[in-house]
Amino acid sequence: MSGYPGGYHLPLVMTSYRAGVVACIDWNVCEFVIIIVMRFSGESSQDASEYVSPGVELGAVVLTGLLHVVFQGPESKGAFIALASVSWVSYIGWRVRQAPGLWRHWGFRSDNLKASFFIPSIAFVLSMGGMAVWGWFSGHDLWNEHLIPLCLLYPIWGVLQQFLVQALGVLNIQKLFPNVGVRSVVLLGACLFSLVHYPQGWLMLATWVLGLVFIPCYLRHRNLWPLGLYHGWLGTFFYLWVLGQDPWDLAFGAYSRFK
């Protein structure tokens, strides 16, 4: 059935509807943080905007992770990524405006790039080699026309994911549970990062291992740039070479089919 009265295509209408639902839910993640803090902090709105409880931030990160699990369909994943990015970038801008030092504290820095890139680069090269061999022997495509735009776009989402996992996840776990050892924090952070990618077993395993490598790097160097960059590239090629799936189609295929 290709057409309906008024020139509307029903699947496209449903896609737009689901995307709208994602927008309504995810856009309120940041509002959730602000409103809860202002209501329960017992402070004025101006004071509340200068400090956000680690528990509230961690809760908002968990909520975003749950939404990521829920909106995995091709008609909603791309919209979720876009709107989650807008929501959290807005939150970053709001917080940094109140406390400019947070930009560096969270890991958006360039003064230690050489040191912070060293171990992640080794992990990246080894992982790419292993995935390429896997893809070759599995008969998966090693290249397609979507890789270039994905390698440009996915690292942006990768930096944001690492910000959520590391700066708002791991650091807030340390604040909330100061007596918990670093190894336990690393293991917990890696497990949470893995669970966000449920129900894809191989992807959960890969992100768990990635968390075990990247979280100690972040705690040592406090720099998000190499982690986000390699997160994006590794994710792109993992889908194509290991899973045999085109991540572009997974995220945007529902929209390209209804042009």
Using one digit for the tens of pLDDT, what is the confidence trace for 159-190?
999 999 999 999 999 999 999 999 999 999 99
Give the tokens for residue 253.
Answer: 């295929």
pLDDT band at 52 (very low <50, low <70, confident <90, very high): confident
Using one digit for the tens of pLDDT, what is the confidence trace for 53-99?
999 999 999 999 999 888 877 667 778 888 899 999 999 999 999 99
Residue 45 has pLDDT above 50, yes or no: no
- What pLDDT does 25 receive? 52
Using one digit for the tens of pLDDT, what is the confidence trace for 128-167?
999 999 999 999 999 999 999 999 999 999 999 999 999 9
Kindly state the average pLDDT of the residues 35-56.
55
- What pLDDT does 47 receive? 42
pLDDT band at 248 (very low <50, low <70, confident <90, very high): confident
Show the CA angle centred on residue 41, arms to residues 39 and 44, nearest 5°. 80
- pTM, full prediction: 0.82
Asked if residues 223 and 105 have their Cβ atoms less than 8 Å apart, the reply is: no
Asked if residues 251 and 173 have their Cβ atoms less than 8 Å apart, the reply is: no
